[in-house]
Structure 1
């Protein structure tokens, strides 16, 4: 991608933050479980779940965008071949 669009940059940054949030949530949940402090474990699980939901949202957007781009490429090839 030579010249990324602002939407693409937002998606990359959002997905990166979501993945790091899931990791931090998982570690926090494990620390809370090991230290037997319930609110730390619950907070960690909550952060991990939010990270998973955000990551899923950006994955769905990426899949839709790639599908549209693929369809456009296929149509361009068909137009080139006059099918």
Structure 2
């Protein structure tokens, strides 16, 4: 198997960190809601929303990259079948 490109490693790590931020933000927001401390709840919600946005962005980039790689592989297989 070929070594993954550095940009795909960065995206995989970013998705992982964003997902963990989403979970931590949600937990913090829930804690703030139960503790009735408004600023903790708001901070948790903000962190959760940022995590969701970042995760969605990098997942979209990953999907586009994989679609392009799949199309290139199919084209290479078609060329090999013609030869």
Q: Which TM-score applies when normalising by structure 2? A: 0.94
Across the two proteins, how many residue pairs are aligned to each other? 83
Deviation at 1:2, TM superposition (A): 4.1
CA RMSD of aligned residues (A): 1.3
In the alignment, which residue of structure 2 is the partner of 1:51?
A: 51
Gaps of 5+ in 1: none
Gaps of 5+ in 2: none
In the alignment, which residue of structure 1 is the partner of 2:69?
A: 69
In the alignment, which residue of structure 1 is the partner of 2:36?
A: 36
Point out 4+ residue stretches in structure 1 off by more than 2 angstroms.
none
Q: Which TM-score applies when normalising by structure 1? A: 0.94
